[in-house]
Structure 1
């Protein structure tokens, strides 16, 4: 333990000797990502898709893309190669910057030159290996090689949630993560070897595996664990201190509490960013210490010149001014609107069987803006309220809706969460909702077995009724979205997106977006086009507050009571201390 502490202290001294240079390096890279690279790649993806007349990418149209839109696929593959090059360049920029700073030899011109040389050493045949490598280290990347660009790549939460609900899939998921974690740890030195020693990709992979053999990797894992614990403790104590001070100041009348809140919230942001940079730089030193002998160990120290201080000053003025302005409007509550609340599948806190009338009636007491529910086409071309494509999970009957008539389906009893209720037809469900004056968000489920006239019949039977009741429709199938809008332009139809690849651009009236890849930029772009954005399925109060901070229009949840509480706390809190705490939860 003493050796770990001694190493961490040395790495920390290295950081504080060159803290100005490290801040410029890290913050400069972050700004380049947020202002240049991320928007540029999103715009490129959007342009390539629009040029091919494709509004989206999903599992539904992958086959069509490959077989009918060759140029689009080529364009996306070129973009993927460019993305890999940019990510690799960013790693090279950070790693080379780290070595140059610690060696007292940092200059922007030299750093650009050396990082460009690192890019030139990549062979075309290395791209598949690099892609595989980044996929392997992805679960480990936040601990060591954290970059805002790579952190945008993640597995959507709904996939993880689906896999954790089945014991077999959960076991597979656990084994998968164990394997990926081991491979990520064993191969973590690949990039440093490529960048510092100019190894080829295959050679670097083999050498990384060799250097981390016989549990040699455990020496840096222990240091990273201790570093993580220290960071969490420091951050927790700092937040408690700020929260306590602001709670005391909130007792004073006048504008003192508000001015103190702006100062404290800005201080929270500054300290959090500084701590993130400190942690990241120490983590890099821990890992790279197995590959490179830092020049800083020889005691070389170079003072920051006027250019460095000027750059830091500009960053402080610009970013500090933006932070203060943003904090002013946030603490004043300017621009904050209450999101609409949407009960997922008509249940709340497991109060009934999903998509059934008794559950909807109980959920209505919590006053959701909308109750979200699902409809399938039946064997006799009618519509039943049901989510799954197979009835076995809820009713024990191993049949699909297309194999049974509506009469047969509505005789079945569904059981879930200790409750039971009859399967409902869409007419029955609409009748019950109208009696309660409860608005609905109707998801149109589609399958290959649907009849050709399914959308036309749905619109003929329910289009006017849905508009009259101020209900909404959404679908995961973009063909259904486009088809319904063509049949009935007055019908408000949203497109359900499981992943955020590009900027919003479609015929839809809005979007239901899986929350883990939803961001403020997508929401802002959609709202500029006068389209609403609803996030799903958000059950964690922390994520709910994050979505509200990003100005989402609505939140779909299984935890409606928790959502109502989160909204009340976030929107109506008169305590500035609590608003600072909400900011922490919404931005972490």
Structure 2
């Protein structure tokens, strides 16, 4: 199908402008519904899944236990069905209100959504499976802006992408993955709006979307880019003017009232333009679908004359609701002081001054003001502890061999390199002795490779005691069993459990602290840890906006590749409104 991009672009802008009050009101109500009723329903089903399996949370360690419970699979199926229905509901509201505006008709919402519910309820297993796959594919690219409120909450954890980026072929693999996902998203971007409008199976609408995007997709992308760029420019100007005004009113950036007002206005501007951004895509998609002759499979009614007046009143009411919500959020954010007592923990040392986990990176961390250095240790073939993160030595040493298969003497002779730096693999003892000379403490991560002897915990405890650091250093591992063994055998050693992925509260783990990846951290978990009398450390926090975010959270330590940035943010008394805007934009983009 040949796409008249100029006409579509003009009609999209006209449509959004003419229906701005109605779109704004429905979008606010929709988001409130999804954030309350929708999210609560999903959390309720999720808690039932955990309760049925006798678990407090869902992590990579207990996934088998949860899935093997008798009621878990049926409840998980219910969870997927509910998630898919809520996603369809969101797209149904947005798509139908745009479609009706083009036709200058009024949607009979009760009848329309009831039929949409019945249609989704009668989806065959095949159609549901295809939708779930499509939903997953929406996550990496957020479907080029046409994303669900729920898919936006998911993203690829940074610990996965960071490790990929450190591998020679990792960057290529990651970029190729994003390109493939992006291409699939472009080709299937008409699928859900088509499913909302017509009464055909999801698979049929996937084929229709492939047909529509067979030609003209580059021109369509260029049109979206131009419209989105114009929107970003307008929104950016409004945000800049708003920020400049508050910068002039409160040069110190510390007045809570001004901070709160700035936050409220900025969030409303951001919300409005995020909604408009999504409507640009939906309006253009619906316009193309409408021009193809796709008809609604249910009835509509003529619009009434006083519709615009009602929309303005509803827009005013919803704006008041948003002011109250954002005001509460802003007060919570700006009424908390920066936690200047947070521990700055250099992740594998400071690799800007040496190879990770080397003596040089250890010294570099001390130089830039870190309180602790996080290091990884493994056992060699002859049961000696060496400082190395990777099980395989190929990435740093260029040797395709495992640490567990080599003796300490063999490993000691190897040269490791990273960037422009070269070094050697130190023993744990050598690393500790150098840390003592530098007067910096260590956070020791145990990385069991599976070939350890049965007395592995005893070997580590004895080594800590021999080096005289069992009372001053902290230790952690992703292996909870080993940490609990160490805690039981020697309570003087502070132990922590590394949790890469967690949903739900903490379980009753016999450790002193939790180490959470940025993806899993939330205020509910923070409160749960505090209730249990345990600290939380977060990793790996590497950008200034995220660093400042955690400096305002109740965390005991920040594990970072850039300890100098954390130090700088802690010591930075000035916090201008332009800096606040940067962090706010980062949080919304992420």
Per the normalisation by structure 1, the TM-score is 0.86
**Paired position in structure 1 for 2:298:** none
Is 1:45 the counterpart of 2:43? The answer is no
Query: Which of 242, 260, 263 is the aligned partner of 1:262?
Result: 260
Alignment partner of 1:272 out of 260, 270, 275: 270
Deviates more, 1:299-308 or 1:46-55: 299-308
**What's 1:564 paired with?**
567
| Counterparts of 2:56 and 2:342, CA distance in 1 | 26
Partner Cα separation in structure 1 for residue 252 and residue 83 of structure 2: 52
1:442 aligned counterpart, secondary structure = strand
Counterpart of 1:341 in 2: which secondary structure?
A: strand
SS of equivalent to 1:468: coil
Instruction: Identify which range, 556-565 or 312-321, moves more after superposition.
Output: 312-321
The answer for the alignment partner of 1:388 in structure 2 is: 390
> How far, CA to CA, are the matches of 1:385 and 1:71 in structure 2?
44
Map 1:516-531; keep pairs closer than 5 Å.
516=519, 518-531=521-534
Moved more, 402-411 or 472-481: 402-411
| One of 406, 417, 420 as aligned partner of 2:419 | 417
Superposition deviation, residue 550 in structure 1: 5.3
Specify the alignment match of 1:365 in structure 2: 367
Matches within 5 A, 1:302-381: 303-304=306-307, 312=315, 314-328=317-331, 330-334=333-337, 339-348=342-351, 350-381=352-383
**Structure 1 pair 177–459 and aligned structure 2 pair: CA distance change class (3 A):** same
Q: Is the 8 A contact 2:385 2:427 kept in 1?
A: yes
What's the offset of the Cα at 1:224?
1.2
- Change over 3 Å in CA distance of 1:516–1:252 after alignment to 2: closer
Checking the alignment, whether the CA contact within 8 Å between 2:537 and 2:559 is kept in structure 1 is yes
1:246–1:577 Cα contact (<8 Å) kept: no
Distance 2:577 2:378 in 1: 48
Q: Is the 8 A contact 2:164 2:174 kept in 1?
A: yes
Gap change, CA 1:424 and 1:330, over 3 Å in 2:
same
Q: Which runs of 5+ in 1 are unaligned?
A: none
- Tell me by how many angstroms 1:333 deviates: 4.3
Contact persistence 2:34–2:149 (CA under 8 A): yes
Q: Please give the alpha-carbon distance, in whole angstroms, between the structure 2 residues aligned to 1:482 and 1:94.
A: 51
**Deviation sequence 1:60-113 (CA, Å, 0-9, x none):** 6656666x5565455434433432333233322332343346544246534542
Superposed counterparts of 1:414-563, under 5 Å: 414-462=416-464, 466-469=469-472, 471-489=473-491, 491-507=493-509, 508-516=511-519, 518-548=521-551, 552-563=555-566
Q: Secondary structure at the match of 2:123?
A: coil
Higher mean alpha-carbon deviation, 417-426 vs 204-213, is at 417-426
Distance 1:476 1:180 in 2: 31
Any conservation in 1 of the 2:516–2:537 contact (CA below 8 Å)? yes
Q: Is 1:370–1:441's contact at 8 Å kept on the other side of the alignment?
A: yes
Inter-partner Cα distance in structure 1 for 2:525 and 2:389: 27
8 Å contact 1:192–1:288 — kept in the other structure?
yes
SS of equivalent to 2:476: strand
SS in 2 for 1:117: helix
Asked if the contact 1:261–1:577 (Cα under 8 Å) also holds between the matched residues in 2, the reply is no
For residue 132 of structure 2, what is the aligned residue in structure 1?
A: 131
Distance 1:509 1:301 in 2: 65
Paired positions, count: 577
**Structure 2 runs not aligned, ≥5 long:** 296-300
Paired residues of 2:369 and 2:567 also in contact (CA < 8 A): no
Specify whether residues 330 and 90 from structure 1 end up closer, same or farther in structure 2 by C-alpha distance, changes over 3 A only. closer
Q: Deviations over 1:524-581 (max 9, x none)?
A: 4444444333332222223323444555543222122223223444xx2254554444
CA distance in 2, matches of 1:31, 1:552: 29
Aligned to 1:230: 230
1:200 is displaced (CA, Å) by 0.8
Distance 2:309 2:488 in 1: 63
3-state secondary structure, aligned to 1:192: helix
How many angstroms apart in 1 are the aligned matches of 2:117 and 2:81?
A: 16
The structural deviation recorded for 1:331 is 4.0
1:346 is paired with a residue of what secondary structure? coil
- Counterpart-to-counterpart distance in 1, 2:141 and 2:398: 41
Closer, same or farther: CA 325–433 of 1 in aligned 2, 3 Å: same
Name whichever of 268-277 and 35-44 sits farther off: 35-44
The CA RMSD over aligned residues, in Å, is 3.5
1:138-182 Cα shifts (integer Å, max 9, x gaps): 344353422221112222223223333334343333333322222
Asked if the contact 2:542–2:560 (Cα under 8 Å) also holds between the matched residues in 1, the reply is yes
- Looking at structure 2, the residues matched to 111 and 466 of structure 1 have their Cα atoms a distance apart, in angstroms, of 68
Alpha carbons of structure 1 residues 549 and 334: separation in structure 2 relative to 1, 3 Å: closer
8 Å contact kept, 1:137–1:185 = no
